[in-house]
Amino acid sequence: MIIIEEKTIRNIKMTMQYDGTGYNGWQIQGNTSNTIQGRLTELLSAVCGDSIELIGSGRTDKGVHAFNQIANFKTKSDISVELLKESLNQKLRNDISIKSIAEAAPRFHARYNAIGKKYLYRVWNQPYVNVFERKYSCHVNERLNIDAMRTAAVLFVGAHDFLGFSSLGKSNKSTVRIIYGIDVLEKNGIVEIMCHGNSFLYNMVRIIAGTLIEIGLGQMDIKAVKEVLQHKERAKAGFTAPPHGLFLSEVFY
């Protein structure tokens, strides 16, 4: 009798932090390893001795950062999660950090199972360049009206068709999304816009941030938010705030 030992397929969940400054975003493009997903896939494949497919909770654009990005992958390797974490962190440049690695349920899927996300948009709102914030915030020289921004932020809350607050142009899929809340906080010259929703369209957080910034500067009327939600005209929303102010903050399952 021949006994064939089938290697168990494990499903592994990773929590990562990254400084997006030097990368072309999360998603692999062609052969470039200059993406977060590309870099991690290379390393994981080498360490696990498998051909790894790494599934992220979602893409982040070129220059966007993450405090907590979640991904999963399947492997036949029997390496311990502790050793895997250590190996990866040793090999990574110091702009990606693996915060934790754990075994996941066999059917856990980082993208399909995500039920909500928080994105943070950071604005440096003082009349001088802050050298420590230049890569991690959008610089707005003139004083923002925080009350106006908060009043406008409330209008986004709920289920709406956010097509006008996206760079999609048009879409065959539903562009209805639910925003659970947008908090606008101010501390030590930094204005933080925290967006919590079920999921987000392409560039949606950056356009919401740009709209709130223009409202805070008095360059746009609060009523415009309602109009764009109703008529879905991208041109009437605010500018697309630059990527380096944006952080994927949390993914909920």
Catalytic site residues? 61
Residues 118-147 that bind its own copies (CB under 8 A): 128-132, 134, 136
* CA angle (163 as vertex; 149, 147 as ends), nearest 5: 5
Q: Which is nearer to its own copies, 86 or 227 (CB)?
A: 86
Q: Which is nearer to its own copies, 78 or 82 (CB)?
A: 82
Contact between 248 and 117 (Cβ < 8 Å): yes
Q: Does 43 bind its own copies (CB under 8 A)?
A: no
37, 46, 24: which is closest to 72 by C-alpha?
37
Q: Does 84 bind its own copies (CB under 8 A)?
A: no
Q: Which is nearer to its own copies, 50 or 86 (CB)?
A: 86
The number of C-alpha atoms within 13 Å of 123 and in the hemisphere containing its C-beta is 28
Site size toward its own copies (CB under 8 A) is 19
User: Interface with its own copies by CB under 8 A: which range of 16-24, 49-57, 173-181, 211-219?
Assistant: 16-24
Q: Does 31 bind its own copies (CB under 8 A)?
A: no
Q: Which is nearer to its own copies, 193 or 220 (CB)?
A: 193
Q: Does 90 bind its own copies (CB under 8 A)?
A: no
Q: Does 83 bind its own copies (CB under 8 A)?
A: no
Binding site for its own copies (CB under 8 A): 17-19, 65, 89, 94-100, 128-132, 134, 136
